[in-house]
Amino acid sequence: MNKKYVASNTRLQLQSGSTSGPGLVCSTSGPRPAQWNFPSAMITRKVGAALAAGCTVVVKPAEDTPLSALALAELADQAGIPAGVFNVVPCSREKTPSVGEVLCTDPLVAKISFTGSTATGKVLLKLAADTVKKASMELGGHAPFIVFDSADVDKAVGGAMASKFRNSGQTCVCSNRFLVQSGIHDRFVEKLGRAMDAELRLGHGSEPDTTQGPLINARAAEKVVHQISDAVSRGATVLKGGRRRDGSFMEPTLLTDVTTDMLCTREETFGPLLPVIRFDSEDEALAIANASNVGLAGYLYSQDTSQIWRVAEALEVGMVGVNEALLSAAEGAFGGVKQSGLGREGSKCGIEEYLEVKYMCLGGLQV
């Protein structure tokens, strides 16, 4: 068991890994299964910190991507990690709730860590409450992407392309609401449309020119179609895409004339849909950006240093990209505020999630 001491005269503070059993459970059910979008990375950044803290782990992978977890278990065995330290429990979608309940309620489990939907995270927290387990949750996002009049429009367009269409829009930190100030709105939309035509290719992953593959399943495609239909019915204009192809293939879609009463501005999409909202003032942009019960990531493009600091401080999110669209890094503290979760992964903060603090006051020693 790893220990960390902080000493001041004869008073010691100790941080130690759990010794009471498995220190990590990854469990999921519900509308957005955990870990399937980056199945190996989502597991390793949890498991790496847990093992470094001296915990054993039980991983319950997403039903859509169990083989990645099993491959990691095989690699762990080849690397010499002892049997019983890294464990994988795959199961069907139908059995996920019951398996998750066992892992979240068993008293031998000291800690749970979950990546997935906010709705499922709430269920797991309730299950863990009876045994007062430590819990870290990386839940839903609804990231705003704000482009101010002072922004470098070409860089903002490049950032929008990277943030929205990476992994076909299936990332928890991808931008979901694009707020563009009136002074550059039309220029931004025009250049973005040209970039989509030039750079995005929908097709099979084995084809070298493909940049956009299918969504994870039919339900994901149906959600995007529903959001597009709702937006159009409320006055939005489809400038690019808008159609579902065979299976779960969804055309990258650009919407304008978007308003805040549309579904695509009120709930996470998890697909290649880019809705653009026009705004006039900084205060208006912040009001729209913060009008959400989740707060994982946010992005802003501006060349005004004072504005950058004001807006970055005011955004109610756990991570902010300033003139940068890809903000995940091993040294960065990954996590959100509001109903986007609890705790952090990565950076020095990540291992703290798997440590307990014990304060010891020593006296009576003859030295």
Write out the catalytic residue numbers.
138, 172
325-to-133, 144, 209, 297, 320 alpha-carbon distances in Å: 35, 11, 23, 10, 9
Q: Any residues with CB less than 8 A from the CB of 1 and at least 6 apart, and which?
A: 16, 17, 19, 54
By DSSP bridging, strand 143-147 and strand 297-301 are parallel
Q: What's the full length of the chain, in residues?
A: 367
Asked if residues 291 and 255 have their Cβ atoms less than 8 Å apart, the reply is no
Written as six digits, the tokens of 165 are 């269409």
In whole angstroms, give the CA distance from residue 275 to residue 273. 6
The C-alpha atoms of residue 75 and residue 88 are separated, in whole angstroms, by: 12
> Edge-to-edge, what's the strand order for the sheet holding 319-322?
237-240, 253-256, 273-279, 175-181, 143-147, 297-301, 319-322
Q: How many CA atoms lie within 13 A of 136 on its CB side?
A: 26
First to last CA, the chain: 28
Phi first, then psi, for residue 203 (nearest 5°) are 175, -170
Nearest partner of 304 among 317, 285, 323, judged by Cα? 323
